[in-house]
Every structure is written in C-alpha cells, then in structure tokens.
Amino acid sequence: MQRYKYGLRLYKQMEEITAHLIEGCRQGKRASQLALYKQFAQRLYITCVRITGNQEEAEEAMQDTFLKIFSRLDQYHDSQCFEAWIHRIAIHTAIDYVRRQKPDWEQLPDNMAEQPDDDKEVEEQIHYTVLQVKEGMKKLAAGYRVILSLYLFEGYDMEEIASILNIQPPSVRSQYLRAKRKLLDIIGAN
C-alpha cells in the first residue's frame, strides 16, 4: 500500500512538472521547450522508429513532432492527457513519413468476408524474442510495418487504424493478417 501511495505521489509530481513545462512552452521559454523535449524525446522516437522502420526517418519524424507540439500547444487542453496527445501527433507524423515512401495499401470491398487462408497455426505455441521481432519488423514492407505497429504496439483497433490510414476496415484486417504471416515467415527463416 505504501509503494502505491509513493507511486501515486510521484505520478502527481510528474504531472505538475509537465504542466509547468507546458505553460513555459506556451510563453515561448526555450528552457521549458528543451526540458519537455528531454522528457519525451526517447518515447516518441521509439514510436516513430517502429512505424517508419528507419532510424534516420524516425529521428526526423520525432523532430517534426516536437515542432508540431510546440506550434500547436494552443490546441492542447489541460483536461487531456498530454502524453497521449503528443503520442498521437508522433504517430501521425511518422505515418506521413511512411506515406512518402508510397506503401501499397490494399483496398478491399466493404462486403468482402475475411478468410484467413491457412492461418490455423496454434499461436499460443509461437514464442520469439523481442530482438527477433524487432529485426523482422525492419524487413517488412512499409504498409505491413505500419499496420502491425499501430495494432500490436500502439494499441489501436482495426477501425481506428482504418480511420488513421484512410482505408477500409476489411483492408486493414486483411493486411494485418498478411503482415503477421509475413513477419512469422521472416522470423522463422532466421
């Protein structure tokens, strides 16, 4: 119980510090911007690298994310979760970088029934290391990598991914299943 109270107190202190930094950024204080950058840069970079699959592009996407954050702080409302707000900006920015690569988003008709051809493997028995998954993700095509990242790592559902990528939900589901099979093939080959 005492650890819980300590954790809660620490969380509240972090929220207060972040709120103070946000206010400083709104006033144009460079020190506040730098402190906010240092506080969130690593987390946003990880998100960007998972989506772009490229360290250089992820670095650029993260930098662009912070430019957007600082220029759009007037759109942030204090009742929102700041970390979720900046995380969404990072995801959309990274997806914009992937779109520049022109990935192939496969459009399927709305009424097409999903048939996971030969996807009857017992998934509970498949175990891979984090390193294997990371390396496999790097080898996926951009479209597959984005959908897997948004679904598996960022926690978006199929409808949300469809909305973010401006494609139909059946297409997202189909590409997710294909991406998962492709990732398993890549990992299995290594």
Name, in order, each residue with C-beta under 8 angstroms of 71's C-beta and a sequence gap of 6 or more: none
Name, in order, each residue with C-beta under 8 angstroms of 144's C-beta and a sequence gap of 6 or more: 175, 178, 179, 182, 183
Q: Which residue has the higher pLDDT, 114 or 30?
A: 30
The predicted structure's pLDDT at residue 125: 45
CA distances from 29 to 20, 44, 63 (A): 11, 21, 18
Q: In this predicted model, what pLDDT tens digit does every residue of 117-161 receive, in sequence order? A: 444 444 444 567 778 888 888 899 888 999 999 998 888 899 989
Residue range 88-104: average pLDDT? 85
3-state helix, strand, coil in the chain (%, to 5): 75, 0, 25
- Rg, Å, the chain Cα set: 19
The predicted structure's pLDDT at residue 65: 97
Among 158, 155, 154, 153, which Cα is nearest to 177's? 158
Segment among 41-55, 106-120, 170-184 with least mean pLDDT: 106-120
Instruction: Say whether pLDDT at 3 is over 80.
Output: no
Structure token digits, residue 128? 């891979």
CA 96 to chain CA mean position, Å: 12
Residue range 88-96: average pLDDT? 94
Q: Which residue has the higher pLDDT, 164 or 129?
A: 164
Instruction: Say whether pLDDT at 110 is over 70.
Output: no
Distance CA 165, CA 180 (A): 18
Structural domains in the chain? Answer: 2-100 (1.10.1740.10), 123-189 (1.10.10.10)
